[in-house]
A and B are shown apart, each in its own frame.
Chain A
């Protein structure tokens, strides 16, 4: 049986309702560390982006401290994302279904998910978040190093720094937009937050949102922890 959509640790426990382990403790810890650094980066970055938000530097102990700490949180975000990347890159690979799914995006948006093609562990939108965040984090790290005045000022020209600071701001804005969509999506689809909080979802949730993943889990003797002992 193919296990294209299954990640190590995914398991199905029959019952009423069916309970599925979607995110291990390590994966959730990894996710929330990444999320926390993103929030801190957004707050400290926005504080230096617009004067109206300069008061946010108060959260970090003043302007100089905000300036000093922001890049370090950036490195932390990078590590966090790399963790998520190696954990989930395989199940975020492009499949032909994603193209079909995107064409019917409007159907998805009005809430008729039953009319959408069956998707695996992640749908098109989730994969887009995964890859775009990766690309934008790489861009932010690269441009961020260029404008990390304290340690890297000497390595680039002023004009390169001007490009970097512009690119860094635009990448950050796009990331904040993606995070808004990401968080909204998780809140919109009821039953999703438990995946990242407790690590579990119900079978019905998987049936509705990730049926291909559910089918693989059910058909996989290792993942389907049925009542009977697995066939030898």
Chain B
């Protein structure tokens, strides 16, 4: 068992990280701090989850969000998808293991993965609306958000949701406010089975190793850690009993990456676009200098007068 974080002192103290610890800021360039903070991570052990949704409740409670009363459509997922209020969601999958013919109930706590290379931040056009701290937390800054939904396109995990109430983007903050005072996320605090634990990324990987060894000893030969390298690793990781096929866990992407379309849009398109506009502007000026202006001559005017006269005469002559 991973020891739970002790409750912090109630005495006020300085925040453990803040603006000076930004390593990325959307649509801006930041000078990263010389010293990177120890990376934190949340580890979600899917094999230990009992689907109680205490994490969902704790998340709503701590972040002061209010989910609408939903409708039961015959599945356990409630709400049916992540929403601007529900930043985390238990996704339930009934899966028949083809090797054992056993029905396995896979329950994955979905939410922001806090990628080391965040696609949302890359896509965001509003300076400072998405920030990444040196401890790995990717946070949305509501005041700077303009509600364009570009983060939705950038995210390889389909996590951000735009509120139709205030047209701002919302997602899990990894309880950055709690972590700033030495606490773990609310979901981890509430989890009754320690399926969710929080600590440094190194600690979490070590803890996961123990869990994976245990799962393997119990027959889950493909048990493993989900820390996808395609996004530089994540600061929310899963222990999966079937790590070779993450997609069976309600579509957890196998080898997620920022979409090449987004890379193209935010990369080549930007530079090639401005190059094309610039080239045409410069080309126009050059053309003007080389070819001069196209002038209408006195002769042209005379020709036009003659033509108008001739044709008018012709018309008059005709019946």
- A230 to chain B: closest CB distance in Å? 7
Whether the pair A64, B301 counts as a contact (CB closer than 8 A) is no
- A121 to chain B: closest CB distance in Å? 15
Residue B276 CB within 8 A of the other chain:
yes
Q: Which of A170, A207, A228 contacts B300 (CB 8 A)?
A: A207
- B175 to chain A: closest CB distance in Å? 26
Whether the pair B308, A231 counts as a contact (CB closer than 8 A) is no
Residue B99 CB within 8 A of the other chain:
no
Contact with A along B258-290 (1 / 0, CB 8 A): 010110110001101110110011001001100
- B285 to chain A: closest CB distance in Å? 9
Residue A115 CB within 8 A of the other chain:
no
Nearest A-chain residue to B318, judged by Cβ: A231
Known A-B contacts A51-B125, A111-B294, A158-B153; the reply to A66 vs B146 at CB < 8 A is yes
Residue A59 CB within 8 A of the other chain:
no
Most chain B CB within 10 A, of A149, A159, A205, is at A149
Complex CA gap A62/B309 in Å reads 59
Known A-B contacts A49-B270, A54-B126; the reply to A189 vs B304 at CB < 8 A is no
Residue A190 CB within 8 A of the other chain:
yes
Whether the pair A207, B303 counts as a contact (CB closer than 8 A) is yes
Whether the pair A67, B148 counts as a contact (CB closer than 8 A) is yes
Whether the pair B305, A224 counts as a contact (CB closer than 8 A) is no
Residue A92 CB within 8 A of the other chain:
no
Residue A58 CB within 8 A of the other chain:
no
Nearest B-chain residue to A63, judged by Cβ: B146
Instruction: Return chain A residues, CB-CB under 8 Å to B272.
Output: 173
Contact with A along B65-94 (1 / 0, CB 8 A): 000000000000000000000000000000
Stretch at the interface among A11-19, A78-86, A96-104: A11-19
Main secondary structure of the interface of B (DSSP, over half): helix
Whether the pair A204, B301 counts as a contact (CB closer than 8 A) is yes
Whether the pair B127, A224 counts as a contact (CB closer than 8 A) is no
Residue A203 CB within 8 A of the other chain:
yes
Stretch at the interface among A25-33, A130-138, A214-222: A214-222
Known A-B contacts A162-B262, A224-B312; the reply to A202 vs B304 at CB < 8 A is yes
Residue B291 CB within 8 A of the other chain:
yes
A residues 162-196 near B (Cβ < 8 Å) are 162-163, 165-166, 169-170, 173-174, 176-177, 180-181, 184, 188-191
Instruction: Return chain A residues, CB-CB under 8 Å to B1.
Output: none
Known A-B contacts A166-B261, A180-B284; the reply to A158 vs B152 at CB < 8 A is yes
Complex CA gap A158/B191 in Å reads 31
Whether the pair B270, A50 counts as a contact (CB closer than 8 A) is yes
Whether the pair B284, A184 counts as a contact (CB closer than 8 A) is yes
Q: Which of B153, B277, B296, B303 contacts A176 (CB 8 A)?
A: B277
Whether the pair A188, B287 counts as a contact (CB closer than 8 A) is yes
- A140 to chain B: closest CB distance in Å? 14
Residue A22 CB within 8 A of the other chain:
no
Complex CA gap A72/B246 in Å reads 42
| Residues of chain B at interface, number, CB under 8 A | 62
How many of chain A's residues touch chain B, expressed as a range? 35 or more
Q: Which of A64, A67, A109, A162 contacts B153 (CB 8 A)?
A: A162
- B66 to chain A: closest CB distance in Å? 21
Instruction: Return chain A residues, CB-CB under 8 Å to B127.
Output: 51, 54
Whether the pair A188, B125 counts as a contact (CB closer than 8 A) is no
Residue B311 CB within 8 A of the other chain:
yes
Complex CA gap A210/B305 in Å reads 15
Instruction: Return chain B residues, CB-CB under 8 Å to A12.
Output: 308
Whether the pair A165, B150 counts as a contact (CB closer than 8 A) is yes
Whether the pair A166, B281 counts as a contact (CB closer than 8 A) is no
Whether the pair B269, A14 counts as a contact (CB closer than 8 A) is no
9 contacts between A and B (CB under 8 A): A48-B125, A149-B162, A161-B152, A165-B153, A173-B272, A176-B277, A204-B296, A219-B315, A226-B316
Given contacts A48-B125, A173-B277, A203-B305, 15 further A-B contacts (CB under 8 A): A14-B305, A113-B294, A147-B149, A158-B152, A161-B149, A162-B262, A162-B265, A165-B265, A190-B293, A202-B301, A203-B300, A214-B304, A218-B307, A219-B311, A219-B315
Contacts from A to B (Cβ < 8 Å): 12, 14, 16-18, 47-51, 54, 57, 62-64, 66-68, 109-111, 113, 147, 149-150, 153, 158-159, 161-163, 165-166, 169-170, 173-174, 176-177, 180-181, 184, 188-191, 202-209, 214-215, 218-219, 221, 224, 226-228, 230-231
Contacts from B to A (Cβ < 8 Å): 27-28, 125-127, 144-150, 152-153, 155, 158, 162, 164, 167, 259, 261-262, 264-265, 269-270, 272-274, 276-277, 280-281, 284, 287-288, 291-305, 307-312, 314-316, 318-319
